[in-house]
Structure 1
Amino acid sequence: MVDWVSWGSLATLALLLIVAAVGDVRRFTIPNWLCLAVALLSLPYWWASGAAFWPGFLWQAGFAVAVFAGLAALFAIGVMGGGDVKLLAALALWFPPRAYLELMMLVAVAGGLLTLALLVRHRVARAEGRPEIPYGLAIAAGAFLILAEPLVKQFPA
């Protein structure tokens, strides 16, 4: 039963990340309901992992609040979008700090490559202004790489 809950939570998270990425590419928006669903879905995942509520999940929730506060400051100065901040904070409920740091590094690399590609496209099209960057795509890519690691490591080399 517990494995089913864990795998089901991860599969649902993957689907929500796809919805976030596609929606951000199409509308440059990550809806609040999606970020809330990602956050709430972490509860059955943590329960299935066998982690203790105290201090395990409460520590993780505190980490997510700290992440939200830091990213909200970046939103306040206009560096990040609100949906990106909320999605990254919701993902902080899923990953311990070290894995979350890896996630952020992967998101930064994916976001940099995405920005570079869109800047080139923008220049080639001779478009005016600054291109919009659907960072939800980079967030989903980074999260997929972190989520895929345990799957890949279970197979012998």
Structure 2
Amino acid sequence: MTGEFFQIALIGALSALLIAAAITDLRSRIISNRLNLAVAALAPLWWLACGLEPWPGMAVQLLVGAIVFTLFAALFAAGMMGGGDVKLLGALALWFPWQAVLSLIVLMAMLGGLVTIVTVIHHRMSKKPGQPEIPYGVAISISALWLLGERYLNHFA
């Protein structure tokens, strides 16, 4: 009972952080380092709450997080993603098994396309100068919230 309560509390905290990330990215196109650090810092508590063993469980989670961060940092270097988005993805990769991380990335890409289309249409209709900045944190957050709901909250139902 206590373990399940702690898991639900951690899911609630992560969900709140994801909602905050989506809102701040939508408003200012910034996802703060503090928010990303909080997401990453809560992951080891999640591992403990889920009974993940240090080897290979926690080591694999760290490896997945490093791989995701590295891959998306390359997209940042190419000017295709924002730094806050990359850090958020790397931090989120610490929370999910690698198979779920792949699902997160696919869902994020699809939602990111929708967010991009809506942003470009809004940018053109409001006749703003320059290129629109895409709030990709919205797609990342919605994708992660979807996975949390599907993967973990349905487990308790």
Structure 1 residue 154: deviation in Å? Answer: 5.8
1:2-151 aligned within 5 A: 2-150=3-151, 151=153
Alpha-carbon distance in 2 for matches of 1:130, 1:138 = 19
- Give structure 2 stretches of 5+ with no counterpart: none
Give the match's secondary structure for 1:85.
helix
Residues 5, 44 of structure 1: 8 Å contact kept: no
Structure 1 residue 127: deviation in Å? Answer: 2.4
Q: Which moves more between the two structures, 130-139 or 11-20?
A: 130-139
Amino acid at match of 2:84: G
Once superposed, what is the RMSD of the aligned Cα atoms?
1.3
Percent of aligned pairs sharing the same letter = 46
Alpha-carbon distance in 2 for matches of 1:97, 1:28 = 28
Amino acid at match of 2:123: H
Deviations 1:104-129 (A, max 9, x none): 11111111101101111222222222
Q: Which moves more between the two structures, 41-50 or 145-154?
A: 145-154
Structure 1 residue 3: deviation in Å? Answer: 1.2
Alpha-carbon distance in 2 for matches of 1:74, 1:119 = 20
Aligned residues: 155
- Give structure 1 stretches of 5+ with no counterpart: none
Give the match's secondary structure for 2:132.
coil
Alpha-carbon distance in 2 for matches of 1:39, 1:153 = 23
Deviations 1:38-79 (A, max 9, x none): 011011111011110111011110111111111111111111
The normalised TM-score by structure 1 is 0.94
